[in-house]
């Protein structure tokens, strides 16, 4: 394979986040006729704007089997190889079966790909054209059926492939249609993420008869109405606060300032994964140490005689797990019971049992055993006497 010879290729297929039960279909390399070019819609300098971050988002937030692209080209030109070429991952809906997906990290609505990204894209596409037996064409995301309105990839990929470092816009996205047909891998979140000024709530309000968590391939939803949903008048934008570090944001999360679940994810945006990882580390390091023993040996010994700690060896294990000296407790138990070895005969004990001085079973047997006596022998003698 020519693409495997590229100097900036990095194989991450075995290390990226994957769904615990869902699997992508492998249709085989012969099915692949197209190459699809995407941009990630995340600022390239943000934490998590890489193959690892996209994989976590696609699996943990969208519920996909794995990352949606075969390749991710990051800011420094590194080419992350994410799937075998024949995998039918989710990136161009109903065209997934025959398209290999390449995603460049960055939001090309407001920024340009780096020269390193452009050169890696050029070399990768040229190599794949040789490697795919039935290759036909390379297209941008918005040039695939059903995606003319997508603002993706917004770069002149054809010019980049033809000659290094050439820049300029690709074919512009068409005006938003009134309806959209659901394709493979679509969610309200992924659709809204591609539309300027449209939120998930807008789509829900525009489609009251549609269940967002149960979208079906081929289902038609309204987009034009979503844009028409009345938006609140924008408030004056306050001056931007200084950018906070991952450490500061993690402290705020622990203090409850960013909510939980989807609220936290939305509040932190593209920094969610990095902040959550730091929160997990901080909480793991801040676990309280086991409390020091609060009861005396004498108190514990009386609790043992009252059968609050069970029998050995479990009793000793429980005491040690709570930070107590099981041997010291047993010595005190023996002392309270009379001595380290039984002083009363079986007949004496049987008489005491008959008089009710040792309670009833099973507590009686447990108390006798805790005091160092043979409860079974005592019971046999009781049976003989009564």
* Cα–Cα distance for residue pair 11/13, rounded to 1 Å: 6
pLDDT value of residue 292 = 56
Decide if pLDDT at 241 tops 60.
Answer: no
Decide if pLDDT at 287 tops 60.
Answer: no
Mean pLDDT of 239-265: 82
> pLDDT band for position 286 (50/70/90)?
low
Output 316 or 56, whichever has higher pLDDT: 56
Q: In whole angstroms, how large is the CA radius of gyration of the chain?
A: 34
Asked if residues 139 and 37 have their Cβ atoms less than 8 Å apart, the reply is yes
In SS3 terms, 137-177 reads as: EEEEHHHCCCCCCCCCCCCCHHHHHHCCCCCCCCCCCCCCC
* Cα–Cα distance for residue pair 238/225, rounded to 1 Å: 30
Mean pLDDT of 169-175: 52
CATH label, 175-230, candidates 3.40.50.2300, 3.40.1710.10, 3.40.50.620, 3.10.350.10: 3.10.350.10
Name the least confident of 269-273, 338-342, 347-351, 357-361.
338-342
* Cα–Cα distance for residue pair 179/287, rounded to 1 Å: 52
Asked if residues 124 and 109 have their Cβ atoms less than 8 Å apart, the reply is no
* Cα–Cα distance for residue pair 105/288, rounded to 1 Å: 41
Output 212 or 52, whichever has higher pLDDT: 52
> pLDDT band for position 187 (50/70/90)?
confident
pLDDT value of residue 97 = 95
Q: Which residues of 76-86 are buried (b: 16+ CB within 10 A; e: fewer)?
A: ebbbbbbbebb
Of the candidates 91, 45, 266, which has an alpha carbon nearest to the alpha carbon of residue 194?
91
Percent of the chain with pLDDT over 90: 37
pLDDT value of residue 24 = 96
pLDDT value of residue 162 = 85
Helix 314-321 vs helix 326-337: crossing angle, to nearest 10: 130
pLDDT value of residue 224 = 67
Percent of the chain with pLDDT over 70: 88
pLDDT in tens, 114-127: 999 999 999 999 99
Q: Is 64 left (phi over 0), alpha (psi -120 to 50) or beta?
A: beta
Mean pLDDT of 231-249: 68
Asked if residues 55 and 33 have their Cβ atoms less than 8 Å apart, the reply is no
Asked if residues 125 and 71 have their Cβ atoms less than 8 Å apart, the reply is no
Output 156 or 243, whichever has higher pLDDT: 156
Output 35 or 179, whichever has higher pLDDT: 35
Of the candidates 357, 354, 290, 352, which has an alpha carbon nearest to the alpha carbon of residue 324?
290
Q: What is the mean pLDDT of the chain?
A: 85
Residue 102: φ, ψ to 5°: -120, 125
pLDDT in tens, 96-152: 999 999 999 999 999 999 999 999 999 999 999 999 999 999 999 999 988 888 889
pLDDT value of residue 120 = 95
pLDDT value of residue 315 = 83
Q: What angle do CA 203, 99, 223 make, to 5 degrees?
A: 15
Domain-by-domain residue ranges, the chain?
2-174, 175-230, 246-285, 297-385
Q: Which residue has the tokens 């789509």?
A: 203
pLDDT value of residue 168 = 43
* Dihedral sign computed on CA atoms, order 234, 235, 238, 244: negative
> pLDDT band for position 233 (50/70/90)?
low
Fold of 2-174: Lysozyme-like (3.40.80)
Decide if pLDDT at 176 tops 70.
Answer: no
Beta bridge partner(s), residue 72: 80, 103
Q: What is the reported pTM?
A: 0.50
Asked if residues 199 and 226 have their Cβ atoms less than 8 Å apart, the reply is no
């Amino acid at each position: 394979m020519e693409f495997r010879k590229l100097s900036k290729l990095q194989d991450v297929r075995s290390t990226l986040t994957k769904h615990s039960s869902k699997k992508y279909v492998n249709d085989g390399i012969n099915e692949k006729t197209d190459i699809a070019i995407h941009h990630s819609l995340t600022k390239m300098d943000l934490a998590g704007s890489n193959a690892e971050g996209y994989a976590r988002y696609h699996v943990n937030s969208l519920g996909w089997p794995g990352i949606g692209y075969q390749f991710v080209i990051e800011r420094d030109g590194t080419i992350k190889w994410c799937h075998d070429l024949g995998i039918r991952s989710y990136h161009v809906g109903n065209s997934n079966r025959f398209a290999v997906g390449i995603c460049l990290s960055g939001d090309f609505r407001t920024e340009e790909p780096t020269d390193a990204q452009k050169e890696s894209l050029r070399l990768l596409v040229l190599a794949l054209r040789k490697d795919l037996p039935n290759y036909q064409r390379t297209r941008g995301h918005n040039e695939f059926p059903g995606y003319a309105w997508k603002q993706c990839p917004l770069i002149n990929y054809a010019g980049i492939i033809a000659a290094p470092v050439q820049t300029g816009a690709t074919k512009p996205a068409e005006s938003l249609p009134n309806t959209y047909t659901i394709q493979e891998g679509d969610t309200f979140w992924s659709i809204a993420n591609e539309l300027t000024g449209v939120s998930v709530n807008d789509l829900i309000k525009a489609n009251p008869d549609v269940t967002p968590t149960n979208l079906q391939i081929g289902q038609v939803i309204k987009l034009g109405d979503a844009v028409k949903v009345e938006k609140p008048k924008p408030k004056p934008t306050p001056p931007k606060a200084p950018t906070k570090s991952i450490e500061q944001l993690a402290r705020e999360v622990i203090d409850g300032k960013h909510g939980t679940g989807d609220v936290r994810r939305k509040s932190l945006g593209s920094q969610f994964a990095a902040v959550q990882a730091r929160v997990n580390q901080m909480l793991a390091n801040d676990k309280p140490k086991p409390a020091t023993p609060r009861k005396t040996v004498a108190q514990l010994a009386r609790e043992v005689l009252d059968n609050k700690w069970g029998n050995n060896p479990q009793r000793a294990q429980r005491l040690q797990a709570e930070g107590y000296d099981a041997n010291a407790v047993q010595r005190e138990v023996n002392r309270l019971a009379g001595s380290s070895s039984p002083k009363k005969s079986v007949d004496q004990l049987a008489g005491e049992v008959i008089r009710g001085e040792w309670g009833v079973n099973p507590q009686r047997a447990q108390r006798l055993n805790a005091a160092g006596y043979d409860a079974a022998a005592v019971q046999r003698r009781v049976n003989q006497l009564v």
